[in-house]
Amino acid sequence: MNHYKLTGHAATNAAVASQKKRSRAASLAGKLWNERYLYLLLLPGLLYFIIYRYVPMLGNVIAFQDFSPFQGFLHSDWVGLKHFKKIFADREVIRVIWNTLYLSFLQIAFAFPVSIALSLMLNEVRGEKYKRIIQSLVYLPHFLSWVVVAGIVTVMLKSEGIVNHYLQAGLGIHAIPFLTSPHWFMPLIVLEVIWKESGWGTIIFLAALAGVNPSLYEAAVVDGASKIRQLWHITLPSIRSTIIILLILRLGSVLDVGFEQIFLMLNPLNKSIGDVLDTYVYYKGIQSSDFSFATAVGLFKSLVGLVLIVGANKLAKKFGEEGIY
């Protein structure tokens, strides 16, 4: 009663607002109550994301500490950017970053185009059955584990393996130390990726190619365009946006070259060229318990990845493409 008199108009407004707020709160509570079963279903997954995806993100704070497992991250000393400065002062880390970038660009330059070429070739096949057989064959390696792929490669290429046996018996050259020589490491990794994943990579391009309007080709044929010209003026432009989107995604993960494959092919003799960020973090953090520094390297990697993917997406939009979000 009292406050009505006090400021008249304004007070009435406030009362209405607070009532609205209350009723909105009540309706939110009602809505949540109606959704209680949905929340019940959501909860386990949400807990999973919080505990195993987001808590570790927070756990990255130990990159700014001298973390000791005995003191926990609440009581370890804060050291600011010490470990990040160390990244750029440490020649070993610089070498590892360089290895990672080098391998990534080799993969983009060699493995990525193979998928495109393979899709274009498959797209030209007239016999449906033949096409399907080849597709089944090229998808197959994708489902094997890296251990299996690296295992077969190891047995075939080791110094007394079949490849070296025939190189010696057939061509009379000395055995080539494929697995232990730094020179062979990168080519082997890229070849393995091409064998395992390029067939799988065709799926998305084939889908894009299937969406091309056939009347474009008919018109081109009427105009007397050769196959090559059709490829250049119709086929490639119509899968351009797919290529660009996949390239963006790939660029966003240039520092991500895959742990398992690299780790399985690494040995003390090729480590100088083969160690990449993920394997380095594993050796530093889990093998040598240098937690804070390893976390700093890992965080650096994730942050660069984040910046790259956002940047590449912006760039794609600037060039009039759709981007990924």
Partner 1 sequence: MVKNHSLLEKLGGVLNVVLLAVVGLLMLFPFYYMIATSFTSAAESATKTFVLFPKRWVFDAYSYIFHSKVFVRSLFVTAGVTVVGSVFSLLLTSMMAYPLSRNITGQRFYLFLVLFTFVFGAGIIPTYMVVKSTHLIDTYWALIIPGAINSFNLIVLRQFFLGIPNDLTEAAVLDGANDLQIFTRIILPLSKPALAAFGLFYAVTSWNTYFNALIYINDPTKWTVQVILRQIVILSQRLDSLSDGQQAAIASASPPGETIGMAAILIATLPILALYPFLQKHFAKGVMLGSVKG
Shortest distance (Å) from residue 183 CB to partner 1: 20
Alpha carbon of 303 to those of 30, 70, 258, 299: distances in Å? 41, 28, 17, 6
Task: Provide the mask over 153-192, with x wherever binding to partner 1 is found by CB under 8 A and - wherever it is not.
Answer: -xxx----xx--x---x-----------------------
> What letter would DSSP give residue 19?
H
Question: How far apart are the C-alpha atoms of 243 and 241, rounded to whole Å?
Answer: 5
Task: Provide the mask over 60-89, with x wherever binding to partner 1 is found by CB under 8 A and - wherever it is not.
Answer: x-x---------------------------
Closer CB to partner 1, 8 or 182, in the complex: 182
Contact 158, 220 (CB under 8 A): no
Shortest distance (Å) from residue 23 CB to partner 1: 16
CA nearest neighbour of 114 among 188, 185, 191, 189: 191
Phi-psi region of 224 (alpha: psi -120 to 50; beta: other; left: phi over 0): left
Answer yes or no whether residue 111 interacts with partner 1 by CB under 8 A: no
Find the part of the chain contacting partner 1 (CB under 8 A) among 82-90, 94-102, 105-113, 142-150: 142-150
Shortest distance (Å) from residue 4 CB to partner 1: 35
Sign of CA dihedral 99, 102, 105, 111: negative
Question: How far apart are the C-alpha atoms of 244 and 153, rounded to whole Å?
Answer: 32
Instruction: Find how far residue 267's CA is from the centre of its chain.
Output: 24
Answer yes or no whether residue 291 interacts with partner 1 by CB under 8 A: yes
Q: Residue 160 carries which side chain, given as an amino acid letter?
A: E
- Of the candidates 285, 304, 315, 321, which one interacts with partner 1 according to CB under 8 A? 285
Find the part of the chain contacting partner 1 (CB under 8 A) among 4-12, 78-86, 92-100, 147-155: 147-155
First to last CA, the chain: 55
Q: Which residue has the tokens 């009427």?
A: 222
Answer yes or no whether residue 17 interacts with partner 1 by CB under 8 A: no
Question: How far apart are the C-alpha atoms of 96 and 284, rounded to whole Å?
Answer: 12
SS3 243: helix
Shortest distance (Å) from residue 217 CB to partner 1: 13
Q: Residue 8 carries which side chain, given as an amino acid letter?
A: G
Q: Which residue has the tokens 């196959």?
A: 227
Find the part of the chain contacting partner 1 (CB under 8 A) among 15-23, 87-95, 116-124, 170-178: 116-124
Find the part of the chain contacting partner 1 (CB under 8 A) among 13-21, 79-87, 203-211, 268-276: 203-211
Closer CB to partner 1, 177 or 285, in the complex: 285
Task: Provide the mask over 251-280, with x wherever binding to partner 1 is found by CB under 8 A and - wherever it is not.
Answer: -x------xx--xx-------------x--
Answer yes or no whether residue 219 interacts with partner 1 by CB under 8 A: no
Find the part of the chain contacting partner 1 (CB under 8 A) among 90-98, 180-188, 268-276, 288-296: 288-296
> What letter would DSSP give residue 142?
G
Q: Which two tokens stand for residue 180?
A: 């232990």
Closer CB to partner 1, 199 or 274, in the complex: 199
Answer yes or no whether residue 126 interacts with partner 1 by CB under 8 A: yes
Q: Which of residues 33-52 bind partner 1 (CB under 8 A)?
A: 35, 37-42, 44-46, 48-49, 51-52
Shortest distance (Å) from residue 91 CB to partner 1: 22
Question: How far apart are the C-alpha atoms of 201 and 268, rounded to whole Å?
Answer: 32
